Amino acid sequence: GAGVSQSPSNKVTEKGKDVELRCDPISGHTALYWYRQRLGQGLEFLIYFQGNSAPDKSGLPSDRFSAERTGESVSTLTIQRTQQEDSAVYLCASSRAQGYGYTFGSGTRLTVV
Amino acid sequence: TQLLEQSPQFLSIQEGENLTVYCNSSSVFSSLQWYRQEPGEGPVLLVTVVTGGEVKKLKRLTFQFGDARKDSSLHITAAQPGDTGLYLCAGYNDMRFGAGTRLTVKP
């Protein structure tokens, strides 16, 4: 596609429920990144995928967070047993390869009530 | 991981004023990127600086990469309300961003 697409754009969920966020990167972009942005804050790195290599999960805050990516296509970020502190905007970005400029999606705004 | 420090954290100015924001690190970068994020949107790449001492201009925005490639600055001339946003820097090969400078330009 022309840009990075994220869905849903907004998600309200009850505490304790699982949520799944989706990211469609730009076609041909081998690198894909997930970030979390709390209100008024900067970007917090979560996870990085590069082609078929093992992902860099060093930014995941707890084992309730996981992500998958099939090849160089769609990625899903799953948060299990959501907590109120998980409320944030989750941003996905892709790039031609690590080190090149990122193209970001508009994010998924997650609210845990 | 290369830690990037951005300053100031917040900046509020009147339309027409000039300003400079900074991105500093104790580590050397092979290149550095600047992004601007507007409310409700993802960050958008403004520029990549590669060579120590390099200066790049994008209309009223001037980006400079330090000679030692450890720091960078962004200067905005005659700021406009449309420049309002969060300015972020990111180093090459590092997935982590600075905390950003939140700029507000008042009409």
β-strands A108-112, A10-13 pairing: parallel
- State what percent of residues in chain B have pLDDT above 90: 82
pLDDT band at B2 (very low <50, low <70, confident <90, very high): low
CA of A61 to nearest chain B CA: how many angstroms apart? 15
- Which stretches of chain A score pLDDT less than 70? 1
pLDDT band at B27 (very low <50, low <70, confident <90, very high): confident
Q: How far apart are CA A78 and CA A80, in angstroms?
A: 6
Whether residue B94 is predicted with pLDDT greater than 80 in this model: the reply is no
Residue corresponding to tokens 């507000």? B104
Q: According to the model, what pLDDT value does residue B30 have?
A: 85
Q: According to the model, what pLDDT value does residue A78 have?
A: 98
Write down the mean pLDDT value for chain B.
Answer: 93
Rounded to an integer, the average pLDDT of B43-48 is: 95
- The edge-to-edge listing of strands for the beta sheet with B19-24 is B5-7, B19-24, B71-76, B61-65, B55-58
Q: According to the model, what pLDDT value does residue A1 have?
A: 54
- Which residues of chain A make contact with B86, given a CB cutoff of 8 A? 42
Helix, strand, or coil (residue A102): coil
CA of A103 to nearest chain B CA: how many angstroms apart? 7
Chain B residues with CB under 8 Å of a chain A CB are 30-31, 33, 35, 40-45, 48, 86, 88, 90, 92-93, 95-100, 102
Residue corresponding to tokens 């860099």? A56
Cβ–Cβ under 8 Å, residues B31 and B92: yes
Closest CA to A69 of A88, A91, A54, A82: A54
Cβ–Cβ under 8 Å, residues A25 and B83: no
- Which residues of chain A make contact with B40, given a CB cutoff of 8 A? 106
- Of A4, A101, A106, nearest to B45 by CB-CB distance is A101
